[in-house]
Amino acid sequence: MQSLSRIDWIALAVFFGSWVGYAVTVARHPGLSRRSVISAMDEYRRRWMLEMASRENRIMDIQIIGNLMASTSFLANTSIFILAGLVAMMAASELSGRIFAQLPFGLTASPALWETKIGLLLLIFVRAFFTLTWALRQFNYCSIVMGSVPQDGPLAARQHVAEAAAKVANRAARHFNSGLRAYYFGLAALAWIIHPLALILASLVVVRELYRREFRSEVRAALL
């Protein structure tokens, strides 16, 4: 870490401040959280489960949860391939650093600095993998809870189990969103390979894009 310059430390502070600050602000600020597209989708998932409890034929519901699991599994598997590539780059850090330095926008970096940059990407995608696999397990749990909703009996009893399924599905969706957010910031971290200032700019652009999609998008307006 001694090879990091002051501008590198500043860039890392902006990067982690943007990522953690955005996630904490959105999660801990009730007024802001309620206005997000994620919160709107929470209510739609709850309505979906309540409707599912009143249906006899639930094939469509199983297909929907299967699609959610497939998209989550795809990103989790992709994280493994990304990590494999990053580990290979870490193993041949000197060679990969020299190759990258030959590109028009590449900067010559010491082996220690290059390994630090690759290490940051490794940490990001390890987090993405664990978050996405936990989301996948929760969608799996949700499918089991959905299967336990009785076909007959009092509607209130069926809706009680459906509410539990909705809560599990909403938690799974939030972890999926967290894993997807890690992908966005992983792309921002790639900019550090070019220059620390590029990392700062990329971090701010990612925060702006996340805010626009979650709070200012046409999809949010349609859902609300």
pTM of the model: 0.86
- Minimum mean pLDDT among 11-20, 101-110, 123-132, 141-150: which range? 101-110
What's the pLDDT at 107?
57
Model confidence at 136, pLDDT cuts 50, 70, 90, reads: very high
Residue 100 confidence (pLDDT) above 90: no
pLDDT tens digits, one per residue of 179-224: 999 999 999 999 988 889 999 999 999 999 999 998 888 888 888 7
Higher pLDDT, 109 or 170: 170
Indicate the Cα dihedral angle 160, 162, 167, 168, nearest 10°.
120
Say if CB 131 and CB 182 are below 8 A apart. Answer: yes
Amino acid in the structure at residue 223: L
pLDDT tens digits, one per residue of 145-180: 998 888 887 888 888 999 999 999 999 999 999 999
What's the pLDDT at 124?
96
Q: What is the mean pLDDT of the chain?
A: 88
What's the pLDDT at 127?
95
Residue 108 confidence (pLDDT) above 60: no
